[in-house]
A and B are shown apart, each in its own frame.
Chain A
Amino acid sequence: MTETSNSSTKAQRSPGRGGLSGLLHRHENLRGFLLMTPTLLVMGVGIIAPFFILVTMSLWTRQGFDFDTTLTMANYARTWNEPIYGALLSRSFWISGIATVATVILCYPMAYFVAFHVHRNKMMWIILMTLPFWTSYLLRVFAWKVILGYEGVINSGLMAVGLIEAPLEFLLYSQEAVIITLAHAWAAFAILPLYVSLEKIDKSLLEAATDLGDGPVARFMRITLPLSLPGVIAACFLIFIPTTGDYITPALLGGPDGAMIGNFIQLQFGPVNNWPMGATLSMVLMMWISLIALVFLFITRLAREKIA
């Protein structure tokens, strides 16, 4: 579509063609941006505008069934002073953090296997590993409810073969249930970046390391792991950030001890009906995520400089 602007002008041979099409012919950047406009417009309506209204509303307060639109930090002060919010936030980050670490550690060998030890039908393996991710998140969480439930697959199965007398109660409605489900549901988000970073490693580097006297373990620690670090970092971000705001998994599997900040935000827009507070909590969540992300990036950069 590069030249659509040109073809619309019939008087091609007359020099000094002016107007918009002449401008577009001369300035490639402008044509590129023009082409981007529809996409950016949708993203603008869908991301920027909502973000601004979210910021604004977080500075309002609830008044009966309506909003008090005077700008105030009152909601932010509440989230800072009342311990329940801090507790919920730190629990959310704890659960997501554990789930992230578990997912990355469990997926790394898998990605390594496909990158280094699968030689035929690599594509099939990648599709196989990522396929479940594309199916409904709700249904996958639901599946774990079926498995971990009070009379679920594990309990009823164990009871049927006579290993236990009564259902194990800790399985459902616990932080562990949430962590297991999250780790399982987000595996694809870890596998893909890990696989890409491992696949990119030049195999002759590994041969060189071996040639220079490294055994398999030393080679892994000194070559493979450092070179795949970008993938590890990407995987951590791609899992940690979205899961902190999750509310389906804790709602279905968390019980009172497993509730996360997402559930609380959802409550503000539902039964509690305090939208400004919900907006504030969303903002607070975003700010904490950004802060943690920055600290994480800083630490990994430090670590990488240490290695180098």
Chain B
Amino acid sequence: MTHADAFILIDRVSKFFGAFQAVDEISIDIGKGEFFSLLGASGCGKTTLLRMLAGFESTTKGEIYIDGQPMSDVPPHRRPVNMVFQSYAIFPHLSVADNIAYGLRKKKLPRAKRREMVDEMLELIKLPGYGDRKATQLSGGQRQRIALARALILRPKVLLLDEPLGALDKQLREQMQLELRALQRQVGITFVFVTHDQEEALTLSDRIAVMAGGKVLQVDTPEGLYESPKTRAVASFIGNMNFFPATVRRNGAASAAIEAEGLGTFPMPIENITQPDGAPVQVALRPEKFSLTPEKPDTAHAVAGKVCEAAYLGERSHFHVAIEGKETPIAVSTPNQSRGGREAREQGIGAQVWLSWSPESIVILQGD
């Protein structure tokens, strides 16, 4: 995406609270109608960035453009964005209908039209007939929907969501994820979504910005982040990952190999290697990319090990397999339908197994 067609352009934005730098020269482009997530652990600056989009925090440096307009001097109540707060911030002294119609005061609509719009919204969030309820009588999931309706009724250019599902229990959260995604497709508004839950971000988003320490580590699609993380931080934040310190071995221009701690030396397609001969790298492999077999498989990409920990999770089993030459055991995840997984589990802790992988599933990361 280029700057020209970016709907939201965050241009080298920094934020200081006193001497503490919460956001460090972040630049992000977000397209129109995109479901964009800011993902990171607490304190990574994602909420500060969202609040800068809403206008509750000023930018110390840099500029935010929404639909081509610079936002620095626009106070929150004049920005074309609306927000769903983490606490939902449902006004306790107003009814559900009055909460939803709160932002319509300035539009000076006739009463009947207002009513109609509110009813439409209640329909959209699947709470028809709730208009006269007191806001204090609502459950967590209902509050969340009211907060959505209250923001969407104003037809904002951008909807900001600050961990809106964090306060809900697991089952309700999963249901709301699906509804939220469907709702976004239905209304076609650009969503910027803040979360610390990587699974949630993967499920919902078109694209995700992974943040840490006030910086953006990587912006990519969910699949891109999972399959080809650019740094060790991203790789370990999204899903589980095994890391092996390794060295590049180039044999002339035609072929290359990787010498990884514990995995031995194995050939790699030359086009996957950009580093010079002898460069230290990290080999990263997801637990589910390993196959687990009782006998030595017919491939060069295999290593023998001993099961030192096993956990049954229903659909899958997780193992820790100790191998020679590596201090920390390897995490392996296998479907319980597979033969190797079943046998390893039956033999239990101490079983001798073979781990194999395909070279395509290996991710090579910079540095040591």
Contact = CB atoms under 8 A, between A and B. Distances in A.
Interface of A: 3, 6-7, 12-17, 22, 25-26
Contact of B58 (A7, A12, A16, A25): A25
B76 A13 contact: no
A260 B58 CA distance: 58
Interface stretch (B66-74, B157-165, B176-184): B66-74
B75 A7 contact: yes
Contacts of B72: 15
Contact of A3 (B58, B70, B76): B76
Given A25-B58, A26-B58, A15 B70 contact: yes
Contacts of B105: none
A216 B78 CA distance: 61
Contacts of A12: 73-75, 78
Interface of B: 58, 69-70, 72-78
Given A25-B58, A26-B58, A14 B75 contact: no
**5 interchain residue pairs of minimum CB distance:** A6-B75, A17-B73, A15-B70, A3-B75, A26-B58
25 contacts: A3-B75, A3-B76, A3-B77, A6-B75, A6-B77, A7-B75, A7-B77, A12-B73, A12-B74, A12-B75, A12-B78, A13-B69, A13-B73, A13-B74, A14-B73, A15-B70, A15-B72, A15-B73, A16-B73, A17-B73, A22-B73, A25-B58, A25-B73, A25-B75, A26-B58
B173 to A, nearest CB: 29
A14 B343 CA distance: 70
B84 to A, nearest CB: 20
Contacts of B69: 13
A276 to B, nearest CB: 47
Nearest to B74: A12
Name the residue in A7, A12, A17 with the highest tally of chain B Cβ atoms < 10 Å from its Cβ: A12
Contacts of A7: 75, 77
Nearest to B75: A6
Contacts of B74: 12-13
Contacts of B70: 15
A12 B78 CA distance: 8
Contacts of B77: 3, 6-7
Contacts of A25: 58, 73, 75
A23 to B, nearest CB: 11
A25 B71 CA distance: 13
Contacts, number: 25
Given A22-B73, A25-B58, 13 more contacts: A3-B76, A3-B77, A6-B75, A7-B75, A7-B77, A12-B75, A12-B78, A13-B69, A14-B73, A15-B73, A17-B73, A25-B75, A26-B58
Nearest to B73: A17
Contacts of A17: 73
Contacts of B73: 12-17, 22, 25
A169 B74 CA distance: 78
A147 B75 CA distance: 65
A90 B2 CA distance: 82
B78 to A, nearest CB: 5
A69 to B, nearest CB: 47
A13 B75 CA distance: 10
A12 B69 CA distance: 11
Contacts of B58: 25-26
A26 B70 CA distance: 15
B41 to A, nearest CB: 26
A171 B352 CA distance: 95
Nearest to B58: A26
Name the residue in B69, B70, B73, B78 with the highest tally of chain A Cβ atoms < 10 Å from its Cβ: B73
A32 B107 CA distance: 31
Nearest to B77: A3
Contacts of A6: 75, 77
Contacts of A13: 69, 73-74
A64 B74 CA distance: 67
A189 B293 CA distance: 76
A109 B74 CA distance: 57
A154 B178 CA distance: 78
Contacts of B76: 3
Nearest to A22: B73
Nearest to A16: B73
Contacts of A15: 70, 72-73
A25 B74 CA distance: 10
A233 to B, nearest CB: 32
Name the residue in A3, A14, A22 with the highest tally of chain B Cβ atoms < 10 Å from its Cβ: A3
Contacts of A26: 58
A3 B74 CA distance: 11
A115 to B, nearest CB: 28
A13 B69 CA distance: 8
B117 to A, nearest CB: 25
A210 to B, nearest CB: 34
A3 B72 CA distance: 14
A16 B70 CA distance: 10
B190 to A, nearest CB: 20
B137 to A, nearest CB: 23
A7 B72 CA distance: 15
A59 B75 CA distance: 54
A7 B70 CA distance: 18
Contacts of A14: 73
A15 B71 CA distance: 8
A199 B295 CA distance: 66
